[in-house]
Amino acid sequence: MFLTPRRRRNDHLDIWPGFVDAISTLLLVIIFVLMAFVLAQFYLTDALSDKDQALSQLNKQLDQLEISLASEQTQKQLSEQEITTLREALDKFSQTFKLSEEQLAATKAELLSHQQEKTTLQEKAQTLQQQLAALEEKIKHLTASLGVETTKSSEKEAKLADLSAQLDKLIMQNTALTDENKKFKGGIGDYASEFFAKLKQAIGNRADIRVVGDRFVFQSEVLFEVASADLGEDGKKQLAPLVKTLKEITETIPQNINWILRVDGHTDNLPIHTKFPSNWELSSARAISVVKYLIAEGIPSSRLVAAGFGEFQPLEESADAKSLAKNRRIEFKLDQR
């Protein structure tokens, strides 16, 4: 009867050990979970650090690629500029080469003409020499005949005098031909070619100053205002290389060559409404203005000729503005009097 309550008290106290075991187990689980979380956090932090380093390296590589791209673009621009410069230089060279070919063709044509004249003179000289030899042979024959035919001495003397006169005439013709040949060989042609070559080099390649045949041509607009014959300061500056070159070349021309510099004025065929009655007077006045300037610069007046051709010697027959501009010109030609 008295033992029953004790058992009930003991049965009530046995719950605590199990509770303590449960709490311990729960704490161990929580500690394990915390440790797992800490380890996971450590590995995650390490992985994020590696990713940050990789991202930093990728950013550096991206910066290097951007620098390389900028450098490539700069190099491309420089290459395009060099290509443009080379194309411009090629165009200038092509124009210069074309002008040189035209000048060379004109020089070749002039040289061929001189060679033909020289060949003609040589053929004439050879013919005269043959005639002279034939006359000498006739004289010898007549002289021998005079020793035998004494009865016809008067007639033979007359014939001999006639033959002597013919011989003297042929000798004079041969002398004149020889002088003409010498004059051809030592004439102004070579010096004119040298003059044009130096003048071309001094002025350079310009569309408004060019060589046409054996003449050096300045467009009128380079030297004069429209419908004017007054040579201004700009026009004098354009003529300065010509004056310098002319002075240099005249020092080399022998005194026995009677040379002149022709200054020819030309206009277009448009009607004129100025102080000049016609284009003829305008072209003459312009040529005279140029001659006066050359005289003022020291070129002897005895070596200069001014001529006006008006609109009657055009380079082009077309009526367009470009052709009319070409026809308005001042021409210079170094020639013999």
Say what percent of the chain tops pLDDT 70: 79
Within 10 angstroms of residue 212's Cβ, the number of other Cβ atoms is 13
pLDDT reported for residue 312: 94
* 264 touches 307 (CB < 8 A): yes
pLDDT reported for residue 299: 94
Distance CA(25)–CA(291), nearest Å, equals: 128
Distance CA(257)–CA(336), nearest Å, equals: 7
Q: What are the sequence ranges of the domains in the chain?
A: 109-185, 188-336
Is domain 188-336 in CATH 3.30.1330.60, yes or no?
yes
Is the pLDDT assigned to residue 268 strictly greater than 70? yes
pLDDT reported for residue 178: 44
What would the CATH number be for the domain defined by 109-185?
1.10.287
- 3-class state of residue 297 by DSSP: coil
**CA dihedral sign, ordered 230, 292, 218, 240:** negative
Contacts of 263 (CB under 8 A, 6+ apart): 287, 290, 291, 294, 304, 305, 306, 307, 330, 331, 332
pLDDT reported for residue 184: 40
4-8, 33-37, 60-64, 70-74: which has the minimum mean pLDDT?
4-8
pLDDT one-digit tens code per residue, 130-145: 777 777 777 777 666 6
For residues 264-293, give the mean pLDDT. Answer: 94
For residues 116-128, give the mean pLDDT. Answer: 76
Residue 262 — pLDDT band, cuts 50, 70, 90? Answer: very high
pLDDT reported for residue 298: 94
pLDDT reported for residue 173: 54
pLDDT one-digit tens code per residue, 35-55: 888 888 888 887 787 777 878
pLDDT reported for residue 150: 52
For residues 301-324, give the mean pLDDT. Answer: 93
The more confident residue out of 126 and 158 is: 126
Is the pLDDT assigned to residue 66 strictly greater than 80? yes
Say what percent of the chain tops pLDDT 90: 28
pLDDT one-digit tens code per residue, 196-251: 777 777 676 776 688 777 788 999 999 999 899 999 899 999 999 999 998 988 88
For residues 187-196, give the mean pLDDT. Answer: 72
pLDDT reported for residue 235: 93
pLDDT one-digit tens code per residue, 18-31: 778 888 888 888 99
| Buried/exposed 107-124: b ≥16 CB within 10 Å, e otherwise | eeeeeeeeeeeeeebeee
Average pLDDT score, the chain: 80
pLDDT reported for residue 276: 93
pLDDT reported for residue 238: 92
pLDDT reported for residue 167: 59
pLDDT one-digit tens code per residue, 68-117: 888 888 888 888 888 888 888 888 877 777 776 777 777 777 777 777 77
